[in-house]
Amino acid sequence: MNDLGRLEDLPLEYRERLTEQNLVPLWPSLRGVLPPHVPTRKTAPTHWSYQAIKPLLLRAGELTPIEKAERRVLVLANPGHGLEKMQASAAIYLGMQLLMPGEWAPSHRHTPNAVRMIVEGEGAYTTVDGEKCPMSRGDLILTPTGLWHEHGHDGVDPVIWLDVLDLPLVYYMEASYHVNGDRQTIKAGEGYKAYARGGVMPTPVFQRSGKRYPMLRYPWADAKGALEAMAANDAALDCVQVTYVNPETGEDAENILGYYALMLRPGQTLQLPARSPACVFHQIEGQSEVQIDAHRFTLQSADTCCAPGYTPVTLRNLSATEAAFLFMADESPLHRKLGVYEVRA
């Protein structure tokens, strides 16, 4: 029960004097910013259907040439934050991006970190800091803060991917900006090929590449293979999940948001505990049911949903014969750095 004094209890003359000095009394609003036991959350459980998004995205390709759009994206906005805020959670931005055959999205760099989870199509690529990263379904491609990146398409069909950025946080910090650049020169070598197998590293191991991000492309074939091997190796393993990390340090692939791939065995139901960070689920293969509090969503291929923090989540594979695979993004690295990360039973 809020037994603190109300703003209207103060004399009008006193409130006006406070306003003149740009002062605000804390006590009437204290429980609003420091609520008991559980934080106030604007992030609402939300589901975005890829089958609903795709025709609208392709229509955007007809309506707006890449020269005018630069990045042709439909933002997956969480209604709890207001659609105008263009954010999925407090720190996560999501967008579905389209690149048509023959198009080139010009080079730029920006302060927010970004990743691309490839949804559909072949023949496109992202060039990041001079490294050309081919795009195939399920691949994860990093475009970290400050690195030049551009997108090109040499194929014949549209290519679509899911953008995940920490834009809301960087914007809130008043640190968000971009710089346009020239087309990049492709450098020899692909970082992911040096780290394609777990447990082995280029020799000698003490000589690191010197790059903050030595691996920019995480092929889905490798991540899926790791999940399937884990499941086969330990039939009792409940949560079959891998984390995308920097292969030279073991740290999270980027420094604000965390990225993961998860496998649900045929018919499996997996209960995830309530954790402080919000989480995004994106269906790579199969079909899943996601229950978030009283909300229940069915994820078809390429569907996406968002769960607020401090909320338990239950995942269920809707197939009794085939495994289901999901990509996940959350705010865990940020919460750990701030010392507010929690897991509640």
Per-residue pLDDT at 1: 46
Task: Provide mean pLDDT across the span 313-324.
Answer: 98
199 pLDDT band, cuts 50/70/90, is confident
Is residue 210 pLDDT above 80, yes or no?
no
Rounded to 5 degrees, what are φ and ψ at 167?
-55, -45
Torsion-angle region of residue 314: left (phi > 0), alpha (psi -120 to 50) or beta? Answer: beta
**Stretch among 10-14, 39-43, 193-197 having the lowest mean pLDDT:** 193-197
Beta strands in 3-139 (DSSP E): 46-48, 73-75, 93-99, 104-110, 114-120, 124-128, 131-134
Residue with the larger pLDDT of the pair 9 and 201: 9
Is residue 2 pLDDT above 60, yes or no?
no
206 pLDDT band, cuts 50/70/90, is low
Per-residue pLDDT at 101: 95
Residue with the larger pLDDT of the pair 31 and 227: 227
Task: Provide mean pLDDT across the span 327-342.
Answer: 98
Torsion-angle region of residue 199: left (phi > 0), alpha (psi -120 to 50) or beta? Answer: left
Residue with tokens 């906005």, as numbered in its chain: 77
Per-residue pLDDT at 198: 80
57 pLDDT band, cuts 50/70/90, is very high
Task: Provide mean pLDDT across the span 262-266.
Answer: 98
pLDDT mean across residues, the chain: 94
207 pLDDT band, cuts 50/70/90, is low
Q: What is the DSSP letter of 192?
A: H
Amino acid at 285: E
**Could you report the per-residue pLDDT of 211-221, keeping only the tens digit for each?**
889 999 999 99
The whole-angstrom separation of Cα 91 and Cα 339 is: 16
| Closest of 116, 7, 35, 26 to residue 71, by C-alpha | 116
254 pLDDT band, cuts 50/70/90, is very high
Query: What domains sit in the chain, N to C, each tagged with a CATH number?
Result: 46-344 (2.60.120.10)
**Could you report the per-residue pLDDT of 79-111, keeping only the tens digit for each?**
999 999 999 999 999 999 999 999 999 999 999
69 pLDDT band, cuts 50/70/90, is confident
